[in-house]
Every structure is written in C-alpha cells, then in structure tokens.
Amino acid sequence: MSGYYIPSEGLQSFAQSLMAKMPVVAPVAKGKRFIFDQLGDVAELRLDYDTTVLPPKKVFFPPKQDLLEFDEGKATSCLDPQAKVLLGVHPYDIKAISMTDKLFSDNYADSNYLANREVAVIIGSNVQTPYERAFYGSIAQDLELVGHDAFLTKISDGYVLDVVTEKGEKLIADLGLADASAEQTSEAEGVNAKADEDCPVKLPFAAGDVSEKVRNSFKSEIWDELSKDCFSCGSCNLVCPTCYCFDVQDEWGLGASNGKRYRRWDGCLSSEFSEVSVQGGSENFRENRAERYRHRFMRKTAYLNDKLGAPACVGCGRCAGACTADIADPVNTITRIMES
C-alpha cells in the first residue's frame, strides 16, 4: 500500500474531509484528560493526547448495547452498524482491538461486535505524549500490529499517513494527498522504531516467564496481600482495552408489552460476577476479593495466551491510573510476583 504526506497545517483539513464522508471518532480533551468522542469541530482533535479515559473498544462494544427489541412476544435483532472513522488510535490500542476482534470472532462469531467493527475504518497514530503509567514498550511485543487500515506518524514538519488496507485506500482515494518522500517515510520509520524506547515504564520480564510464574503462584498467599486494599469496584476492568466481559439484562418499555435486551460491561472484580442463585440463597464461585483479583491477573497474563498469542495486556497503563487504591498496576503486581 502507500505512504502519503500531510503537512502540519493540513491535518485539520484532512480530518475535515473525513468528517464530510462519515462520522469521525477521535481523541478530544475532556477536562484535564482525553476521551474518544465523535468530532464536532475539527479543532477539537488532539493527536498529542497521552491516553484516553476509556479505550476505543467502546466504538464497537459500547458500555451499554441493545441486543434485541421485543414487542408482543416477538424479538428482533438490534444490529445497526454505522460506518465511521476511528482516528488517532495508539498502537497499544490497535493491538487490543486485534485481540477483541479475535475473541468476538472465535467459535461463535458475535455479530453485535463484529458488525460495528466491519464498517469502521481505523487510522492509528503514534504516541506523541506517553502516558506516565504506560508500559507498552515492554509487553505484547510479539504481537503483530494489525487491524488498522492506516497509520499517521508525526514527523518534524507534518505527518506521514501509511495506508495498509484497501478499506483505507478507498477512504482517502479522492483526498488528493501528496505522496510521502523517501526522506519523510524514512523519518516516520525512525519515529516508530524508537517509540517503545520512549515508553515511561518498563516491565523487565519476558511474557513466557511471567505467564509461568504467575500461573504457578495460584495458591500463593501473595494474592491476599496484593488485594487487601481492593474495593471490588471494577474500575480496572472498565478501563481495560482487552476486558470484554458483559452482563445481559432486560428492560421494559413504557408500553409494558415491549422492551429491550441489552448488554453492559461487567467486570470480574465485582463481587457478584460469579454468583448464581440456588435454592435458599446463592453460591459464589469467587467469593473473596483475593480470588477475583487473582482471576484478573491470571486472565491478563496466562489464561488467554494460547488463544491470543500474547498476554491479554497491551501496557496502556489505564488500570494503574484508574485504581483508587493503586493496586491494579500490572507492572507492580507482576514484579512483586516475579520477585517472590
């Protein structure tokens, strides 16, 4: 595929021309932080963001998503994919999207996610301002960067847009972008090659060693110690780009004969996550917070590795920043276990 050059002052008109085609979801400022939101005014675009509060998975897998509508006992599917551009996705989040793509496709393909995913065009962008808790430079390194359609790299006097799929080519075909010169392409390659070096936090252990050691520590008492300040709030789950658990609930409409079934994000840290109703009460298969805390780390470092080809963590650092008690940072927890 091809590389194009966009001068610094041309970025907004580039985004504007995308907005003329379809809605563009991109990083914008929200208070002192950033979120992915639909661009209303192109001036809001902030490709210099560090990280977003919620990962971009919400575009395909919204926090609350209608699954089906029913009326008079008849149910119909709520699939209603809307084409959009997802602009400015950092490489760690692209890796996470490639994981959720696989997880929602495997075995039973889930069209509630995949239909939204298929109509989206993803334009990644390099990290200009690393988030202080991020450790993407030292995790999921074996995972190929795939799933995006194009990638924007900031160079000294503008951007290089590397288009990697036909979907990406089709989107920008009529924008009249200039080809990137050999020097510009080479500068962009250099920027991306040293991106991981600029990542603030390092996880100094190989994925295989982490997986083995964490898995073998299942019965260790260390989990009680590590989780003793856990509020079971599930913030670490909710901000995680690779968490994809959900609950399903029904709600009635005002007509009392109609309503909706929806799913909403759920998290394995919440106390009722594994609870079932039984005669005369309930049975909870992970009753203690240490069990739930351990489950999350097992799932991130060990359980899904065979399926994903890498740990289910891309080093975004969002959980570290979101945890009130600051006990969710994978770097701290993994280090503590590796050194135990």
Partner 1 sequence: MCDGNNNVGQDGNILLPKEVEVVEAKKVTASETHFVLKMKNGDAMDYKPGQIVEAGVLGYGEVPLGFASSPTQTEKTGTFDLVVREVGKVTKALVSLQPGDTMTMRGPLGNGFPVEEFEGNDVLIVAGGIGLCPTRSMIKYILDKRDDFKKFTLFFGSRTPAEQLFVEDLDVWRGAEDVDYKEIVDNADENWKGKVGVITQLFKELDELNPETKVIICGPPIMYKFVIAELKGFDVPDENIFVDLERRMKCGVGKCGHCQINDKYVCMDGPVFRFSEIKDLEEAI
Q: Which position among 192, 274, 288, 332 is part of the footprint of partner 1 (CB under 8 A)?
A: 274
Q: Which position among 166, 218, 221, 326 is part of the footprint of partner 1 (CB under 8 A)?
A: 218
Closer to partner 1 by Cβ: residue 51 or 242? 242
Rounded least distance, CB 289 to partner 1, Å: 15
Asked if 304 touches partner 1 (CB under 8 A), the answer is yes
- In order of 9, 10, 197, 329, the CA distances from 158 in angstroms are 8, 8, 22, 35
Closer to partner 1 by Cβ: residue 155 or 312? 312
Tell me the C-alpha distance between 121 and 151, whole Å: 11
Tell me the C-alpha distance between 59 and 290, whole Å: 32
User: 3-class DSSP state for residue 31?
Assistant: coil
Closer to partner 1 by Cβ: residue 132 or 287? 287
Q: Which position among 20, 176, 276, 339 is part of the footprint of partner 1 (CB under 8 A)?
A: 276
Q: Which position among 20, 31, 32, 108 is part of the footprint of partner 1 (CB under 8 A)?
A: 108
Q: Which of the ranges 2-10, 30-38, 72-80, 325-333 carries the binding residues for partner 1, by CB under 8 A?
A: 72-80
> In sequence order, what are the residues at sequence separation of 6 or more whose Cβ sits closer than 8 angstroms to the Cβ of residue 107?
none
Closer to partner 1 by Cβ: residue 41 or 106? 106
Q: Are strands 246-252 and 258-265 parallel, antiparallel or unpaired?
A: antiparallel
Closer to partner 1 by Cβ: residue 36 or 104? 104
Asked if 235 touches partner 1 (CB under 8 A), the answer is no
Closer to partner 1 by Cβ: residue 185 or 242? 242
For residue 80, count CB atoms less than 10 angstroms from its CB and return exposed for 0-12, middle for 13-18, buried for 19 or more.
Answer: exposed
Rounded least distance, CB 206 to partner 1, Å: 20
Q: Are 34 and 52 spatial neighbours (Cβ–Cβ below 8 Å)?
A: yes
Q: Which position among 9, 32, 107, 144 is part of the footprint of partner 1 (CB under 8 A)?
A: 107
Q: Are 145 and 95 spatial neighbours (Cβ–Cβ below 8 Å)?
A: yes
Q: Which position among 73, 144, 193, 197 is part of the footprint of partner 1 (CB under 8 A)?
A: 73
User: 3-class DSSP state for residue 249?
Assistant: strand
Tell me the C-alpha distance between 307 and 244, whole Å: 15
CB atoms within 10 A of CB 163: 22
Strand partners, 87: 123
Asked if 299 touches partner 1 (CB under 8 A), the answer is yes
CB atoms within 10 A of CB 191: 18
Asked if 278 touches partner 1 (CB under 8 A), the answer is yes
User: 3-class DSSP state for residue 263?
Assistant: strand
> In sequence order, what are the residues at sequence separation of 6 or more whose Cβ sits closer than 8 angstroms to the Cβ of residue 70?
76, 258, 259, 260, 261
Tell me the C-alpha distance between 190 and 200, whole Å: 19
Tell me the C-alpha distance between 272 and 287, whole Å: 8
Closer to partner 1 by Cβ: residue 110 or 187? 110
Asked if 249 touches partner 1 (CB under 8 A), the answer is yes
Asked if 68 touches partner 1 (CB under 8 A), the answer is yes
Q: Which of the ranges 87-95, 118-126, 198-206, 258-266 carries the binding residues for partner 1, by CB under 8 A?
A: 258-266
Asked if 174 touches partner 1 (CB under 8 A), the answer is no
In the region spanning residues 316 to 335, those forming contacts with partner 1, defined by CB under 8 A, are: none
Closer to partner 1 by Cβ: residue 46 or 292? 292
Asked if 275 touches partner 1 (CB under 8 A), the answer is yes
Helix (H) or strand (E) holding 67: strand 64-71
Q: Please report, as ranges, the residues that interact with partner 1 according to CB under 8 A.
A: 67-68, 70, 73, 75-77, 79, 103-104, 106-112, 115, 218-219, 244-250, 252, 259, 261, 263, 266, 268, 273-279, 283, 285-286, 291, 295, 298-299, 302-304, 306-307
